[in-house]
Amino acid sequence: MIGQRRHFQVAHRPRNDDESILPLINIVFLLLIFFMVAGQLSAIDPFEVEPVESAVDGQPGPDEFMVIIGTGGRLAVNQDEIELDDLAPLVRGHVERHGDEARVRVKSDGRAEAVEVVGILERLREAGIERIDLLTVPEA
């Protein structure tokens, strides 16, 4: 027995087709996680705003200066809620940085008083803004 060779038979498992698909499932999940993390995240407005409806279909692009007008005199600039008197210095700083290319996007609540919205638009013009984009949603 000590010097004799022994022959062992190795039992092979039957090949399972489900095992070949597991690496594919892993890759799909990794890609899903990657695109969820790498996707563009949009900022949340500091208060709820229901935009005005418009017949013009145009998507707002990312911009560095956005004025958000809410109901009850609420006002925000770039996700920070501010008082109306603080608007002009912020706008002047934006104009100084960007010159003639300075542009402001205004997102107004559809329930806000038109007089308030027009008053804020006039303040933006007085502060030196030549181009104001009023963001709307398409009519249903």
CATH of the domain at 125: 3.30.420.270
pLDDT at 88 over 70: yes
72 inside domain: yes
20 inside domain: no
Residues 36-60: what's their mean pLDDT? 65
Give the tokens for residue 18: 């489900």
13 inside domain: no
On average, the pLDDT of the chain sits at 79
Give the tokens for residue 125: 């013009």
12 inside domain: no
6 inside domain: no
45 inside domain: no
Number of domains into which the chain is organized = 1
Domain that holds residue 80: 53-138
Give the tokens for residue 114: 């038109």
pTM comes to 0.56
| Residues present in the chain in total | 140
pLDDT at 60 over 50: no
Give the tokens for residue 16: 């399972």
Give the DSSP letter of residue 39: S
